[in-house]
Amino acid sequence: MPGWVWPFLVLFMIIIFVVGVVYAVRKALHASRIVGSLAQTVQNSLSTAQQNEDAVTQQAPAFTQPLSSSSERYAQAHAHVLERKASAHSRHLQRWQVWKHFNE
């Protein structure tokens, strides 16, 4: 290889190295902004959750209350579970009805 080619190769290598460093720095700055906004969102969510947790009234443990109150809470919770299952089932049926007549 002729001697005059080497300076061009070295110059090209230095330029490519500098461009790579600039690219990496720009991507790192962009990623740090994204991580910062994510951290801010998580912090806001956690502070809101902490405030909500403080606002919730503490109930006595179930074993210290009469059995009727525990059974009422269980019945209410089970009713909510059944309502959610029924609504999911109705949404499922509605979607299948739409798909059933989609190609007609």
Give pLDDT tens digits for 51-67. Answer: 766 655 677 788 888 89
The pLDDT value given to residue 92: 97
The pLDDT value given to residue 48: 82
Asked whether 62 and 70 are in contact (CB, 8 A), the reply is yes
d(CA 69, CA 87): 27
Give pLDDT tens digits for 77-86. Answer: 999 999 999 9
The pLDDT value given to residue 61: 80
Closest CA to 48 of 60, 38, 40: 40
Those residues of the chain that have pLDDT short of 70 are: 52-57
